[in-house]
Amino acid sequence: MQHRIIVLGAGYTGAVTAGRLARRLRPEDVHITLVNAEPDFVERVRLHQLAAGQDLKPRPLAEMFAGTGVEVRLSRVTAVDTERGTVAVTDADGEADLAYDTLVYALGSGWTDHGVPGAAEHAYEIASRPGALRLRERLARLEAGKTVTVVGGGLTGLEAATEFAEARPDLRVTLAARGGLGDWVSPKARAHLRKVLAGLRIEVREHTDVARVESGAVVTAEGESIRSDATVWTTGFAAHPIAAATSLETTGSGQIVVDATMASVSHPNVYAVGDAAYAMGSAGKPLRMSCASGIPTAWQAADSIAARLTGGKLPNAPLRYVNQCISLGRGEGLIQYVSADDTTRSFSLRGRNAARYKELICKGAAWGVANPFFKMPVRRKKVRTAERGAARAAANATA
């Protein structure tokens, strides 16, 4: 009998995991199902570009995984039953339960309003394609002289503010940051940020804590009202809520606690990758939610699953950081180099070369997802009968 592997979510981490598993395991031994609510792969790191009015290349999942042996199922995940080993989904045909022997949870994260009054009702988010499209429509309707306020001074906020200001120089763009502008990057990098934002005429409101969002303004903790015809909320992400509703061991934020192989510490046949995982990096610190963290965890999970099923050696690749890549419009960028634990180093790459570097990173990530079989090994490994039988027996025992 085939070992049933279900991957939930076809973002960067889910798609990479599914493709890497198909590359390492024989289709006669395993059946891999990739479950996703949307038919296309979404380049999340480019959603600020989509919101700014740029058209992104469509990447249908059915085409990406054609001929790989991965079954793409367009369904929305509604629940996971780790005791029965099933996933509840709903689609155009109704509701169904999918049984698994191994589950890869890659549902990722979405935006969060952090409980700020009015943010959910009046602010726009760009953590999802539907959210980016809603903002795109809103920006297209704004007349010259109107104000766009981006709340959040992290990577997403910086990329969004500069993209909007470059695409729509007729609008007034304001960036509201709780801390100082780029206070986590090196001094030269910080100076470059200030220069680029000033050149784009972006008003920067540092050390500004937004306490409330209204239909035409944001109100600070000090009571100041800042005009805002479109408010964009980029203050961080929250893990998808489904994991927290299961018997999996999760953190208070809803991330699944995993070991070094990305396996759940409470349910070894469940793996979590990307923003869904609470994983420790090689430097002993938790990995932050980011594409830089996600793809290495996907490699680790896929290689661990393949090793356990085939009797191979478990991977021991370090989960570490190298740099933080920030686009500042289409022609400017910033690459801040960091240590393994994400601590800022003194060196950074700035300007057009940094923009080209960031573009190569984005293209490379999307290309790697879309071409899972480019580096096909000479021979896929056979799943050992003992491993297949043990996994099926374990699944039946908890049913």
Q: Are 154 and 234 in contact (CB under 8 A)?
A: yes
Q: Quote the pLDDT of residue 391.
A: 52
Q: What is the pLDDT of residue 366?
A: 85
Instruction: Establish whether domains 3-110+237-320+362-372+383-390 and 113-233 are of one fold.
Output: yes
Res. 395: pLDDT tops 70? no
Contact 8, 103 (CB under 8 A): yes
Q: What percent of the chain has pLDDT over 70?
A: 94
- Work out the average pLDDT over 276-286: 90
Q: Residue 364, exposed/middle/buried by CB under 10 A (0-12, 13-18, 19+)?
A: exposed
Q: Read off the pLDDT of each residue in 18-23 and give the average, rounded to a whole number.
A: 94
Supply the pTM of this predicted model. 0.90
Q: DSSP class of residue 275?
A: G
In this prediction, residue 387 carries a pLDDT of: 57
The pLDDT score that the predictor gives to residue 289 is: 87
- Cα distance between residue 335 and residue 390, in whole Å: 47
Give the pLDDT score at 393. Answer: 47
DSSP state of 219: E
Q: What is the CATH number of domain 113-233?
A: 3.50.50.60
**Residue among 276, 295, 312 at smallest CA distance from 365:** 295
Q: For the residues 112-138, what does the mean pLDDT come to?
A: 96
Give strand pairing partners of 344.
338
- Average pLDDT for the chain: 92
Query: What is the fold, at CATH topology level, of the domain defined by 3-110+237-320+362-372+383-390?
Result: FAD/NAD(P)-binding domain (3.50.50)
Q: Which residues contact 321 (CB under 8 A, 6 or more apart)?
A: 281, 292, 293, 338, 339, 340, 341, 342
Question: pLDDT above 90 covers what percent of the chain?
Answer: 81
What whole-number distance in Å separates Cα of residue 187 and Cα of residue 288? 23
For residues 42 and 40, give the distance between their C-alpha atoms in angstroms, rounded to a whole number: 6
What is the β-pairing status of strands 3-8 and 102-105? parallel
pLDDT beyond 90 at 365: no
Which among 152, 156, 192, 142 has a CA at the least distance from the CA of 174?
152
Residue 392 is predicted with a pLDDT of 52
Is 2 buried (19+), middle (13-18) or exposed (0-12) by CB count in 10 A?
Answer: middle
pLDDT at residue 399 tops 50 = no
92 phi-psi bin (left φ>0, alpha ψ -120 to 50, beta other): alpha
For residue 314, what is the DSSP state? Answer: P
Average pLDDT score over residue span 269-275: 96
In this structure, what token pair is assigned to residue 304?
A: 């661990």
When pLDDT is averaged across residues 46-54 and rounded to a whole number, the result is 96
Average pLDDT over residues 372-388: 62
390 pLDDT higher than 60: no
pLDDT band at 398 (very low <50, low <70, confident <90, very high): very low
Upper half-sphere CA count for residue 59 (Cβ side, 13 Å): 20
pLDDT at 274 over 90: yes
The C-alpha atoms of residue 265 and residue 267 are separated, in whole angstroms, by 6
Please tell me which residue, 176 or 288, carries the higher pLDDT value. 176
pLDDT at residue number 369: 80
Q: Average pLDDT of 118-147?
A: 97
Looking at the chain, list the stretches that DSSP marks H as alpha helix, in order from N- to C-terminal side. Answer: 12-24, 47-51, 61-64, 119-122, 129-141, 155-167, 187-199, 291-310, 352-370, 385-398
Predicted confidence (pLDDT) per residue in 85-103, tens digit: 999 999 989 999 999 999 9
- Backbone phi, psi, residue 259, to 5°: -95, -165
Q: Does the structure show a pLDDT above 90 at 381?
A: no
Ranges of each domain in the chain: 3-110+237-320+362-372+383-390, 113-233
Q: How far apart are CA 245 and CA 260, in angstroms?
A: 23
Q: Model confidence over 199-256: pLDDT tens digits?
A: 999 999 999 999 999 999 999 999 999 999 999 999 988 999 999 999 999 999 999 9
- Average pLDDT (344-358) is 94
151-168 pLDDT, tens digit each:
999 999 999 999 999 999
370 vs 328, higher pLDDT: 328
Average pLDDT over residues 299-328: 92
